[in-house]
Homo-oligomer: A and B are copies of this chain.
Amino acid sequence: MTTVTPATAADRTGVSIDTLRYYEREGLIGPIRRSVGGRRQYTEDDLFWIGLVTCFREAGLGIADLREFVAILRAEHSPQDRVAFLRERRASLEQRVAALCRAMEVLDEKIAYYS
């Protein structure tokens, strides 16, 4: 299996090395395989997962949310639990979108006023 150094992983995911280590410490990714000497070796799967995490971080989910997310998707939870959790997260994202739309409406109003 082809793997990649921390520097390359950081480069390809757009996440800093420090943050990658932080995410691993926090249980959001990995644990990442190590070389004999102890250096991290990121697989393509790791990179993909980091992409998912980044996607959710950008959407505003907190570290604790993501930890739970990881646990749900990895551990032995009943499908109902998983789906319930996922739906819950989806609902909160919808609320964020709603908040954003309200703010955009206000902006549009102001833009119209000053145009």
Contact = CB atoms under 8 A, between A and B. Distances in A.
A55 B103 contact: yes
Interface string A92-111: 01101101111110111011
Interface in A68-110: 73, 79, 82-83, 86-87, 89-90, 93-94, 96-97, 99-104, 106-108, 110
A79 B110 CA distance: 11
A56 B83 CA distance: 31
Copies in the complex: 2
Given A55-B102, A93-B103, 15 more contacts: A52-B106, A56-B106, A58-B103, A59-B102, A59-B103, A60-B60, A60-B99, A60-B100, A82-B110, A82-B114, A83-B115, A86-B110, A93-B104, A94-B104, A96-B100
